[in-house]
Amino acid sequence: MNDTVGIVIVSHSPDIAKGTADMVRQMVGSEVKVAFCGGNPDGGLGTNVSLIIDAINNAWSPKGVAVLVDLGGAETNSEMAVEMLQPERRNLVVVCNAPIVEGAVMAATEAVGGSSLEQVRAVAEELSAS
């Protein structure tokens, strides 16, 4: 199997994160590695840096990982998580400025064709342009 960019979904809600991942798998298939996480360290609504780091490592691909987030804290915590990765991985992860569900589906669709991390990010972020 050729390497494809991995997709990570980070929502405040574990249900949204899982549901988004389910949609990606159904629409795009299992050729793209998808990992997801949601909820604060107590399991309530929020995000958790430690789980985000785990998700990025689980979706890891030599081509990199695109992270899709919902609201502010998910973005800030994802950026923090990227900085806490092992140094050689940090530059191969991008946090996309895109709506979480549509962005994840579009990013995975682009990734499955073998596109680069920058191409995957660009396709997801086109959704935010208008």
Partner 1 sequence: MSLQPETLKTLVRAAAEQMIASAPELTALDQAIGDGDHGANMKRGFEAVLGKLDTISAQPIDQALKTIGKTLVMTVGGASGPLYGSFFMAAGDALASKRLPDDLADVFCCAVGAVVSRGRSRPGEKTMLDVLFPVLQTLMAEAGQPDLIDKVRTTASEAVARTVPMQATKGRAAFLGARSIGHVDPGARSSCLLVHAVCNTLEARL
Mask of contacts with partner 1, 49-68, x by CB under 8 A?
Answer: xx------------------
Q: Determine the interface stretch with partner 1 among 1-9, 78-86, 88-96, 100-108 (rule: CB under 8 A).
A: 78-86
DSSP line for 101-119: HHHHHHHHHHHHTT--HHH
Residue whose CB is less far from partner 1, 45 or 122:
45
DSSP line for 21-60: HHHHHHHH-SSS-EEEEES-TTSSSS--HHHHHHHHHHT-
* Contact between 40 and partner 1 per CB under 8 A: yes
The site for partner 1 (CB under 8 A) is made up of 39-42, 44-50, 71-73, 75-77, 79-80, 84
